Amino acid sequence: MVDAKMLNKMSSAPGFIAALDQSGGSTPGALRLYGVSDTDYQGDEEMFRLVHAMRVRIMSAPAFTGEKVIGAILFERTMDGDVDGEPVPSYLWEKRGVVPFLKIDKGLNAEENGVQTMKPMPDLDALLIRGREKGIFGTKMRSVIAHADKGGIAAVVEQQFQVARQIIGQGLMPIIEPEVSIKSPTKEQAEAILRDEIAERLDKLPAGEKVMLKLTIPTVADFYAPLVAHKSVIRVVALSGGYSTADACEKLSRNHGMIASFSRALAENLRVSMSDADFNASIAATIDQIYAASVNKS
């Protein structure tokens, strides 16, 4: 069973989820945005040490608390790391009041039928058990939709829900993430197919089973309102998808019931060269901006 206090916070508390889960493929880009060039480190171990230091700086900033940041999605190495000698999941929940999630997917298959499904996860049960033992509340897994291909989108959603059932079986809360690319020439049409496919599978979930959804901000405001209201969904969160912080927040503010789960948009204005005072002031301002878009709907 999922942790009741964490479930209550994730179900009803105002705020948003910070996505701190850049993995091997996206880490160099995240570091470049932070002001760390590819020539500033050698090898994966040094790269991951630097990105962990960036994440620790974010997580330990005074404004990064459960008052506005209700959850954080972690890369596996971040879950296994520490902040000031304390394991990251327990630090987040016990010291900051932030619910910890774990990114579990192992990357994407090559595009087929306009989509990229997730690569196999043969060791998933072991990872889920380890995460649960470390205090992880839920998980996140990402697929990508590039075109409005009904067969491809159905395959993505079917895979997501199959894995979600496995996650639920291990006592964790799944975040289902079938991302529609913001560059898709058929984005609006893909979203229509996706909404119907998700709704069909939500209706088939056994009584009492709950999931979260992480979706690209839709072209049409409030398009995902039926999913927000579904009895089997505890929260619908929005990915920034490459939009700037300002654009992502403006688009999100028009979607009632959706809260942010931003990665790039959260760290957009942070730089390694900043003093602690400037860094903390910058992340505080961004947290306020994302919180407002998540909570204050016109």
Distance CA 158, CA 84 (A): 41
- What is d(CA 129, CA 278) in angstroms, rounded to the nearest whole number? 39
In the block, residue with structure tokens 């974010």: 58
Burial of 44 by CB count in 10 Å (0-12 exposed, 13-18 middle, 19+ buried)? exposed
With beta carbons less than 8 A apart as the criterion, state whether 99 and 9 touch: yes
Short-list 182, 187, 293, CA closest to 245: 293
In terms of residues, how long is the chain?
A: 298
User: Among 153, 175, 159, which residue's Cα sits nearest to residue 104?
Assistant: 175
**3-state DSSP assignment of residue 19:** strand
Count of alpha carbons within 13 Å of 36, Cβ hemisphere only? 20
Is 214 labeled as catalytic in the residue annotation? yes
Kindly name the residue from 177, 191, 197, 268 that is annotated as catalytic: 177
The SS3 of residue 122 is: coil
Give catalytic status of residue 76 as yes or no.
no
Query: Which of 9, 214, 251, 268 does the annotation list as catalytic?
Result: 214
Active site members: 177, 214
